[in-house]
Amino acid sequence: MPFDLSGRVAVVTGGNGGIGLGIASALGAAGAAVAVWARKPEKTAEALASLEAAGVEAEGFGCDVADEAQVASAAEATVGRFGRIDVCVANAGVSGHEDLLGTTLADWDRVLRTDLTGTFLCFRECVRDMARRDDGGALVAVSSGAAVHAAPRMASYAAAKAGLGGLVRSLAAELAPRRIRANVLLPGWTASSKQTEASVPEDLRIETVASIPAGRWGLPEDLGTAALYLADPTLAFHTGMELRVDGGYSIMPPYLAARAARRLETQLDA
C-alpha cells in the first residue's frame, strides 16, 4: 500500500533547503502537514512557497536547534498551529573541517551542540506531545557517512554523527512501549545546497562516482523517500536501526572502487 501521512504533522529541522527540503516535500506529498524549523527566514519563505505550490500545508518556525529555549518554543508553536506532532526529522546540522591540533574547544562544542545535542533537544520536545496520545510517532535522525567511514579533519562532525546512532538506539528501546519509533537515516554522497558534484575536485569526483554502484550521487528526493518510509505509521516493527541510502557506496571494497575509478578516468581521457 502507498505511504499515507494524512492527518499527521511532521517537523523537519533544517527543512528549508537541500536534503531537508527534499524530506519536507516527500512527507508533504504523502499528506502530512509540515513544520519547517530553520534559522534563515528568507530561505524558509522560499521553501514554504515551493511546498505550498505543490499543495503541501506548511508553516515555518524560526529555530536554532542548538538553543534549548528556541526548540521548546518551536515545539509549542507547532502544536499551537497544527494541534499535534507525529514525526520529527532532525536534519539540521553544521560541519567542522579542522585538523585535530587546530580544533579549539569552541569549534568542537559548536558542532556537537548543533548536530548531536540539537537532535536530542528536538526529539525531547516533540516526544512531549507524542507521549500525550496513544497513537505513537516517529523520530528520524539524519546522520552521515562520516559516522561509519574515516573522515580526516572532521573529528567533531564524525563524532556527533556517530553519536546519533547511540542516541537513537537508546530512545528506540525506551519509547517502544509508547509506540514511538526512532531510526537513523544515513545518506551517502548527496548533492544538496551545501555540497554539489561541481564543488568537488575532479579527481575526487571521479573516484566518488566510481565507488557508488548506482553510478551517481544521491539527490534530496532519494533521502525524502527514505525518510517517508521511516515516518510512515505502518512501519510499526522497524525501530532502532540505521538505514543507509548511499547507492551502495558502503558495500564497495576499496580495491574495486580504485579499479573502477582508474577505468572511468581512462574513459574520460579517451
10-36 per-position pLDDT tens digit? 999 999 999 999 999 999 999 999 999
157 is catalytic: yes
In this structure, the number of other CB atoms found within 10 A of the CB of residue 40 comes to 14
pLDDT above 60: residue 265 = no
Total domains in the chain come to 1
Answer whether residue 261 is part of any domain: no
pLDDT of residue 253: 72
Phi first, then psi: give them for residue 172, nearest 5 degrees.
Answer: -60, -45
Phi first, then psi: give them for residue 37, nearest 5 degrees.
Answer: -100, 115
Answer whether residue 25 is part of any domain: yes
Answer whether residue 138 is part of any domain: yes
Q: Which three cell numbers stand for residue 102?
A: 587546530
Answer whether residue 133 is part of any domain: yes
CA distance to 83, 152, 155, 218, 265, per residue, from 206 (Å): 48, 19, 25, 15, 7
Q: How far apart are CA 162 and CA 148, in angstroms?
A: 7
49-100 per-position pLDDT tens digit? 999 999 999 999 999 999 999 999 999 999 999 999 999 999 999 988 888 9
The CATH number of the domain holding residue 156 is 3.40.50.720
Answer whether residue 258 is part of any domain: no
205 band by pLDDT with thresholds 50, 70 and 90: confident
In this structure, the number of other CB atoms found within 10 A of the CB of residue 90 comes to 31
Answer whether residue 137 is part of any domain: yes
150-178 per-position pLDDT tens digit? 778 889 999 999 999 999 999 999 999 99
Catalytic residue among 157, 229, 249, 255: 157
Answer whether residue 115 is part of any domain: yes
Is the pTM above the cut of 0.75? yes
Query: Which structural domain range is residue 125 located in?
Result: 9-200+215-252
The fraction of the chain above a pLDDT of 70, given in percent, is 90
237 band by pLDDT with thresholds 50, 70 and 90: very high
Answer whether residue 234 is part of any domain: yes
Please tell me whether residue 257 adopts helix, strand or coil conformation: helix
